[in-house]
Structure 1
Amino acid sequence: MAMITLLNSILIGAAIAAPIGPIGMLCIRSTLVGGWKKGLAAGLGVATADAIYAAVAGFGMHVISSQLIRFEDGFRMIGGLLILVLGLVGFRRKPPFADRDIPGQTRQLFTFGSTFLLTLANPMTVISFAALSAGLGIDSLPGSSEGASAFTTGIFLGSALWWILLCTAINQLRLRLLTPAALRAVNLISATLITGFGVWFLISVFFGP
């Protein structure tokens, strides 16, 4: 049963990661501007946050879930501000040479941390994972810890696998097809889109349902 849950969760993790929103755009931009390692760091930040939400849902941590939902607007405001700042910073970057003076590990750790925090900043994600865990037959009973562990692991593996494949494909495009001028254009477009997502998040706090 745990193996079936693991395999199903891998597919679900990939499906959750696949839609391109502000976080996905950040991961793509990180790969185009900083290369495969930086893009992968961004993707693994997302996968780690997804795994935490999956654990909250799979292990039935209802108190945590309710608190996250209670402070949804606060999380949206924090997430919107972070996305907005990252988008505005993107306008000042001059890829692919802008980060050369910063050690590679420092860049990757910052990228991992930023996408990790941004993914956590959307508490509504936990509702999706709660529904998924129920659909897979995972509940909060003590005997279900094996299934919940398989669910969490599978979500992480599926999400990570998606980002590995996407970053590899984007990096190949970057190396073979994109000129420095094209990279600068992509950087400006992605910065505009990311800034727009940040503004939309902030507007949704004050004018959303």
Structure 2
Amino acid sequence: MTAALLAGLLAGYGIAIPVGAVGTYLVSLAARTSLRTGVSAALGVATADGLYALAAVLGGSALASALRPALGPLRWGCVLVLTALAAWGAARAVRQYRGRRLTARTASPPPGALRAYAALLGITLLNPTTVIYFAALVLGSQGGSGAGAAEQAVFVTAAFAASASWQVLLAGGGALLGRALTGHRGRLVTALVASGVMTALALRMALTPG
């Protein structure tokens, strides 16, 4: 049981700690909205990680074999999603910045907690890094083969908890950043930097062979 707990924690932190496009978007979202929205989005990321961990322990090597043909389409799907998010985020930030400067109109309402959760869940499920990571986990038979139902449940729960704790930490950092950057210009810069990072990561993903 202890081994399953440690394996799950290592798996969850292993996929969560490297801050890529999803983590960048999470921080940016929390900075522009609120801690509640950021935490909801963080739980969406962690839910996707937990679902892949569950699929890993239940699917075995058959899951990894089934995932291989889909990795290419998933990668391109993620490229398109990231590019669209980057463009939408930059355009929205510029539009709101100009609107505040030129008119007295109120800004559009920020995304709610449920919408943020669903959006980050979907983005993470399309993230090929997550797919490849848990496919490799399956191929290595860590937490999948030879383990009983209790050990599998502990593994999945630990992976979810580890991912959730890290993503919530990122959301908290984004919320603090949002409080620090209270001016319109600061929020514009935050959104544009996040969009730039997501665009660069999408381009690198598109140019990576395989």
Alignment correspondent of 1:63: 62
Identity of aligned residues (%): 24
Cα distance in 1 for partners of 2:61, 2:140 equals: 15
Counterpart of 1:146 (choices 147, 150, 159) is 150
8 Å CA contact 2:56–2:63 kept in 1: the answer is no
TM-score, reference length from structure 2 = 0.82
- Contact 1:51 / 1:156 at 8 angstroms: preserved in 2? yes
Match of 2:125 in 1: 120
The answer as to 2:91 corresponding to 1:87 is no
1:129 correspondence with 2:137:
yes
Shift of 1:9: 2.1
Distance in structure 2 (CA, Å) of the matches to 1:163 and 1:99: 30
RMSD over equivalenced CA pairs, Å: 2.6
- CA–CA separation in structure 1 for the residues paired with 2:134 and 2:184: 40
Q: Give the Cα separation in 2 of the matches to 1:4 and 1:90.
A: 42
Q: CA deviation at 1:18?
A: 1.1
Separation (CA, whole Å) in 2 of partners of 1:111 and 1:102: 13
- SS, match of residue 19 in structure 1: coil
Gaps of 5+ in 2: none
**Are the aligned partners of 2:28 and 2:174 in contact in 1 as well (CA < 8 Å)?**
no
Q: CA 1:91/1:6 → structure 2, altered by over 3 Å: closer, same or farther?
A: same
1:194 aligned onto 2:198: yes
Cα distance in 1 between the residues matched to 2:18 and 2:110: 31
Find the aligned partners of 2:176 and 2:82 in 1 and give their Cα distance: 26
- Number of the residue aligned with 1:162: 166
Contact persistence 1:76–1:201 (CA under 8 A): yes
| SS of corresponding position for 1:124 | helix
Q: 1:65 to 1:10 in 2, by over 3 A?
A: same
TM-score w.r.t. the length of structure 1 is 0.82
Give 2:62's aligned amino acid.
V
Q: 2:12: which partner in 1? A: 13
CA apart distance, 1:21: 0.5
Q: Deviations over 1:54-101 (max 9, x none)?
A: 112222433232211221100001111011100100111236989954
